[in-house]
Amino acid sequence: MSASDVGPDNKLSNQKLLTDFMIDGGKCGPDGARCDVEGNLWCSSNAGRAVGYNGVTVLTAEGKLIGRIRLLEVTANVCFEYLQSWDVPNVFVVGASAFPQISSFNPTGTVSALAYLTADAIEPKYLKIRDR
């Protein structure tokens, strides 16, 4: 995964390698990435059964490994039900970035429906759990 500067003309420059997703000598395949409010990058990353690593890799904006969350199953996204983040319980990823692949049609209706579903679930489900 690479990072670049975006100029005022929207052209990329200063491309640098952020991470090669090598974990314990095995190459992981990222499938979904999100940034938190601090600029940290949360990526699903799976090395397969040979290495025994599936989960979420957390990197700083500079690409330094912060940590890994190992999971028993292959990780294909970084959101739970109602688009709630895996890693930060009070973060909801509402938008087309929560889709596991690129849409082949205009996703506005779907994104609007997901935003409504998420907003409708936060009060009765999330806030009651949080206040326990």
Residues 19-69: pLDDT tens digits? 888 877 777 777 777 777 788 888 887 776 666 677 788 889 888 888 887
Q: What is the pTM of this model?
A: 0.54
**Beta 12-17 vs 2-6: how paired, if at all?**
antiparallel
> Distance (Å, rounded) from C-alpha 132 to C-alpha 27?
40
Q: Which of 24-33, 79-88, 103-112 has the lowest mean pLDDT?
A: 79-88
- Across the chain, mean pLDDT equals 76
Altogether, the residues listed in the chain come to a count of 132
Does the pLDDT at position 132 exceed 60?
Answer: no
Phi, psi of 120 (to 5 degrees): -70, -25
Q: How far is CA 6 from the centre of its chain?
A: 21
Indicate the domain borders of the chain. 1-78, 79-132
The CA-based diameter of the chain, rounded to the nearest angstrom, is 50
